[in-house]
Amino acid sequence: MTQSNVWLVTGASKGLGLATVRHALAHGFRVAATSRDAKRLQAEIGTGEDMFLPLEVTLTDEASIASAVRQTKARFGSIDVLVNNAGYAALGAMEEISDADVRANFDINVFGVLNTMRRVLPVMRAQGRGHIFNIASISGSLGMASTAIYSATKAAVIMLSESVAAEVADFGITVTALCPGGFRTDLLDKTSARHPERTITAYKGVHAVMDHFARLNGNQGGDPDKAAEVIIEISRMESPPTRLYIGSDALHGIEHKLHDVAQSVDRYWKISESTNFQA
């Protein structure tokens, strides 16, 4: 079980990150939280300096991440729980999204996670303990029209988490890829989601899905405060899950996906097996 005394949360100025910071503080934990705007973060939390450390961090800058880790360790003495929450969704038909926008989404959603883990792991290895939460998404397991790039980033986060979990288990460190369904955060807001600068009118089905997302925004079934409490509960477990889907829509989605994959594997078993060398 992780001694959950000191938390480091990225992308903490809104949404699930902000909820996690608030709940961790309410449980008496010390929290370092990162954002592109530390003043906004301080205004949102408004708590005493002895328990809370707001940090202005650019996740595309490894030196900025390293500085945040050093400051957290210097202030609180350890990093027991890392919550890699920072991320956003690049939405649209894959053909519509520019190379620069694709790379930018991977820079934050994947390399931001990877580089933050890389900087925190030496601290946790030295402690002989730690728990890392990487916020993925049900979209990392279910591909659908308009989410090709976002889904690809979150699939990478899931596999990165599972592989790193195997690498660090001997050090007393656990890793959980948290895969939420639709939660009432700003993920689909115009201030957060990124849409293509140019659209291709032929992709009517994709644009219909994006219109659905716009209507869904603010009406998602998931409660970020309840998700934050789940994160805290999982952090206290002796054997936490490596992958956890949260939200009823995520559960139904992965249930159907597993069923479809199992059917496909069974249907094409012979042709798949035919590629082996003959004994």
Q: Is 40 exposed, middle or buried (0-12, 13-18, 19+ CB in 10 A)?
A: middle
Secondary structure of residue 187 in the 3-state scheme: coil
Q: Is 150 a catalytic residue?
A: yes
Contacts of 7 (CB under 8 A, 6+ apart): 20, 21, 24, 29, 30, 31, 32, 79, 80, 81, 82, 83
113 in Cβ contact with 157 (< 8 Å): yes
Rounded Cα gap, residues 65 and 53, in angstroms: 14
The number of beta carbons lying within 10 Å of the beta carbon of residue 103 is 12
Secondary structure of residue 238 in the 3-state scheme: coil
Residue of 88, 150, 203, 245 marked catalytic: 150
Q: Is 271 exposed, middle or buried (0-12, 13-18, 19+ CB in 10 A)?
A: exposed
7 in Cβ contact with 55 (< 8 Å): no
131 in Cβ contact with 88 (< 8 Å): no
Residues identified as active-site: 150
